[in-house]
């Protein structure tokens, strides 16, 4: 988790202490301890900072009352639907952009212009178009995933076919066979990276959207808590959005590694 | 896609946007259900002229740009310092690296409710969000860059018995500059987007995000569209400008 590579295990004693993996936990734990101590001592007013233990208790009571699950499932549902549809469409358009020069001529310019529009800037326009329902949030999630996946797919296919098309021609593979046996397997890893970036962006846009306009979801839970000055609920939301974002990214990384290993085993 | 495109191909590229715009125009005149959403071109045009003439657009855009620059400056300076310290001191990295990465996992705008509780619906709240947006990429890329210095250059430096300070200024920093520029570029894009987001979440005062949100409340789709176009165009423009600047400043590198 540290920014640098692990230190070699030699040199003076303190270096060995630093290299110990447990040392990485020092700063987060120290921050928590300091935070709790500052709240306990009364030096910091409870309006400014609630102690970590209270955040923990609030999280438990939110979980027990079922509020948390309701909001969490609302957010994750939007993310899942948007992610799947964005990925499918992105793969399709990306593959076409990567293989067909004619498609690039017709669709490329539109694609490149729309790609420049930041998702968050579309929130008001989409609310006016689709209303404050589920649809506009799913569209925003899908949009974030779609452009990342489509771009990664088209760029990797183009890079691969440049490098490998000669081999394909040598083996007299048809264009479809080249796509199926060369371009797709080789672009698996970059496409998964595109999906990861897309998911990351989608999660950020979704939380922001729920903060601005929603009846449910983690973002809405935080926004309500802000309006009622419940700092502990806000902090539960911050921790949870962070953990979910991190978990999703790690999950996709794991899938990526597993798929690549399987691919390596087959070859 | 950057290769030279022939004229007929350019026209073909315009076919889809033209079709979409015609469909939009048709919906504006024939559908009553979404009459407030699909506004006809003439109304968008009138709105654009009005926004430019009566001065709604430019002051708001100016406020957003100034805010982005201020946040970018604060975030970049702090990011350069933080990235530098983390890269040069193993102790600092081990102590603060984990914390930095842990805090970075939180989606940027999820901090907004907490920042709102601390600073209210105010300028410092918006600046904090933008600075944070700029801080992450600059810190990460500065760190990366400082670690990238080639070992043969560092060996040469130790051969010449340069002090740690001289080594930093003469070897590590020049090697890090391209990375720092990449970081700044990401920071600029990210700061601009989060400025728009922050203005929508803390919507008191001027700003193109607040303007857009007000227009949405008043159901003025033409103003919303003009804002979306302006935001996207500004983002693209700033990105191009910084790419050009980086290419020019880093000419020695290649």
B3-49 confidence digits (pLDDT tens): 567 888 888 888 888 999 898 888 888 876 666 778 888 888 888 88
- Reference B209, options A143, A120, A227; nearest CA is A120
- Residues of chain B contacting residue A15, judged by C-beta atoms under 8 Å apart: 90
Tell me if residue B100 falls in helix, strand or coil: helix
Q: Is the ipTM of this complex over 0.85?
A: yes
Tell me if residue B254 falls in helix, strand or coil: coil
Give me the CATH code for the A53-266 domain, please.
1.10.3720.10
- Reference A7, options B168, B84, A18, B155; nearest CA is A18
HSE, CB side, 13 Å, CA atoms: give it for residue B180: 23
Closest Cα in chain A to B35 = A129
Q: H helices then E strands: how many in chain B?
A: 11, 0
**What's the pLDDT at B253?**
64
Residue in B34, B87, B228 closest to A125 by CB: B228
How many residue pairs bridge chain A and chain B with CB atoms within 8 Å of each other? 176
Q: Is A6 a residue whose pLDDT tops 90?
A: no
Residue in B105, B194, B197 closest to A242 by CB: B105
Contact A203 B196 (CB under 8 A): no
- Residues of chain A contacting residue B90, judged by C-beta atoms under 8 Å apart: 4, 7, 15, 18
Interface probe with B: pick from A136, A208, A217, A231, most Cβ of B within 10 Å:
A208
Residue whose structure tokens are 């309701």:
A70
User: Would you list the DSSP string of A21-53?
Assistant: GGGGGHHHHHHHHHHHHHHHHT-S-TTT---HH
Contact B232 A118 (CB under 8 A): yes
Closest Cα in chain A to B229 = A117
Q: Is A147 a residue whose pLDDT tops 90?
A: yes
Decide if A224 contacts A193 (C-beta within 8 A): no
The per-residue pLDDT for range B64-98, each reduced to its tens digit, is 999 999 999 999 999 999 999 998 888 888 888 88
Contact A48 B96 (CB under 8 A): no
- Reference B188, options B65, B86, B96; nearest CA is B65
CATH class of B42-247: mainly alpha
Vertex A225: Cα angle to B70 and B192 (nearest 5): 20
B106 — pLDDT class (breaks 50, 70, 90): very high
- Residues of chain A contacting residue B37, judged by C-beta atoms under 8 Å apart: 128-129
Q: How far apart are CA A124 and CA A142, in angstroms?
A: 17
Map out the domains of chain B as residue ranges: 42-247
Over residues B100-124, mean pLDDT = 93
Alpha carbon separation from A59 to A141, A233, B106 (Å, rounded): 26, 7, 17
Q: How far apart are CA A196 and CA A259, in angstroms?
A: 14
């Amino acid at each position: 988790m540290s920014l640098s590579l692990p230190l070699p295990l030699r040199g003076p004693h303190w270096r060995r202490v630093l290299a110990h993996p447990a040392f990485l936990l020092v700063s987060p734990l120290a921050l928590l301890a300091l935070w709790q101590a500052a709240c306990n001592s009364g030096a910091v007013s409870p309006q400014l900072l609630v102690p970590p233990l209270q955040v923990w208790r609030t999280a438990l009571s939110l979980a027990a009352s079922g509020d948390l699950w309701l909001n969490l499932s609302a957010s994750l549902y939007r993310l899942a639907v948007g992610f799947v549809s964005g990925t499918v469409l992105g793969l399709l358009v990306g593959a076409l952009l990567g293989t067909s020069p004619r498609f690039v001529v017709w669709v490329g310019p539109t694609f490149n212009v729309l790609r420049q529009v930041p998702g968050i800037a579309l929130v008001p326009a989409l609310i006016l178009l689709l209303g404050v329902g589920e649809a506009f949030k799913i569209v925003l999630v899908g949009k974030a995933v779609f452009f990342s996946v489509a771009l990664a797919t088209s760029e990797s296919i183009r890079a691969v076919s440049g490098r490998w098309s000669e081999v394909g021609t040598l083996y007299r593979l048809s264009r479809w066979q080249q796509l199926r046996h060369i371009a797709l397997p080789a672009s698996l890893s970059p496409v998964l990276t595109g999906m990861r970036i897309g998911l990351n962006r989608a999660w950020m846009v979704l939380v922001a959207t729920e903060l601005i306009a929603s009846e449910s979801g983690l973002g809405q839970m935080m926004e309500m808590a802000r309006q009622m000055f419940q700092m502990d609920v806000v902090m539960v939301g911050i921790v949870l959005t962070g953990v979910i974002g991190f978990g999703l990214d790690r999950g996709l990384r794991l899938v990526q590694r597993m798929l690549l290993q399987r691919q390596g085993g087959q070859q | 896609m950057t290769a030279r495109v022939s004229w007929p191909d350019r026209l073909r590229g315009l076919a889809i946007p033209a079709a979409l715009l015609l469909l939009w125009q048709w919906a504006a005149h024939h559908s009553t259900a979404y009459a407030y959403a699909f506004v006809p071109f003439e109304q968008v045009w009138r709105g654009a002229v009005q926004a430019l003439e009566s001065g709604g657009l430019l002051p708001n855009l100016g406020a957003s740009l100034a805010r982005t620059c201020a946040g970018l400056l604060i975030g970049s300076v702090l990011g350069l310092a933080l990235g530098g310290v983390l890269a040069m001191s193993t102790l600092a990295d081990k102590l603060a690296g984990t914390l930095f990465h842990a805090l970075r996992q939180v989606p940027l705008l999820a901090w907004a409710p907490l920042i709102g509780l601390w600073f209210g619906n105010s300028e410092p709240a918006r600046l904090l969000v933008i600075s944070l947006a700029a801080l992450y990429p600059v810190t990460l890329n500065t760190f990366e860059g400082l670690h990238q210095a080639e070992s043969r250059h560092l060996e040469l430096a130790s051969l010449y018995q340069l002090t740690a300070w001289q080594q930093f200024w003469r070897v590590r920093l020049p090697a890090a500059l391209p990375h720092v520029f990449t970081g700044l570029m990401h920071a600029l894009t990210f700061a601009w987007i989060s400025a728009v987001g922050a203005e929508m979440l803390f919507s008191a005062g001027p700003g193109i995000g607040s303007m857009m949100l007000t227009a949405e409340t008043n159901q003025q789709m033409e103003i919303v569209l003009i804002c979306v176009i302006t935001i996207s165009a500004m983002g693209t423009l700033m990105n191009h400008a910084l790419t050009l600047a980086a290419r020019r400043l880093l000419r020695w590198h290649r």
